[in-house]
Amino acid sequence: MPKAPKGLLFDLDGTLLDTAHDLGNTLNYLLQAHGLEQKSYAEYSPFASHGAKGLLELGFNNIPEEEFTQLREEFLAHYAQNICIHTVLYEGVSEVIEYCQKHQIPWGIVTNKPGFLTTPLLTYFPVLASAQSVISADTLPQRKPHPQPLLFAAQQLQVEPNDIWYIGDAERDMQAANSANMFSVLATYGYIHTDDQIEQWHAQLHINKIVDILDYIK
């Protein structure tokens, strides 16, 4: 059994928020505009944690760099205008955050989503306003899988890294957590592709729904 955490850090997309529908709808908007076949939820959801780059690579095969830059700008502009049409909290998130508040466990968010998207998205979910640290892709020069964003968040929580659990749904999340000497928790309910070899990600704990972490914390 892991020792109880003194702080919690979470990834955003695929961990706290189910953003796949809005991200996928943006991809399909671009595909339609370029006369290409749209993707189903089953096709695009495993790539939602990989942001604009992963989704565009899914929809547009072998994009030349100059075209990718333009497509990415179009993607981000459309997504920013439609950022919370279908996005929802995962079931159990409110319960976990309320537990943290009740028991004075500091918590925060470390995401590879750019800040100009992260900040407005969070305003739609008041329960997330109690985050004591929010680190986006452009907060620091480094981003996950580099451990520095997690270490910086730990400083803001005023908790030692080895007393923090980091929960995420991607390999880079586990790499960052392990490199930061945090306890790594894989959210298997997130955006994981059937081909992903998650046993090679070296997560220290797997959870099938976010509320499961309370069984270990308690």
Q: Which residues pair with 167 in a beta bridge?
A: 10, 185
Q: What share of the chain is helix, strand, coil (3-state, %, to 5)?
A: 50, 15, 40
- DSSP letter for 82, please: T
Using DSSP bridges, classify how beta strands 183-187 and 164-168 pair: parallel, antiparallel or unpaired. parallel
Q: Is 22 one of the catalytic residues?
A: no
AA identity, residue 117:
L
- From 117, 147, 118, select the one nearest 131 (Cα to Cα): 118
Residue type, 179: S
Strand 88-89 versus strand 17-18 pairing type = antiparallel
- Determine which one of 11, 13, 22, 169 is catalytic: 11
Answer whether 107's CB lies under 8 Å from 132's CB: yes
Catalytic residues: 11
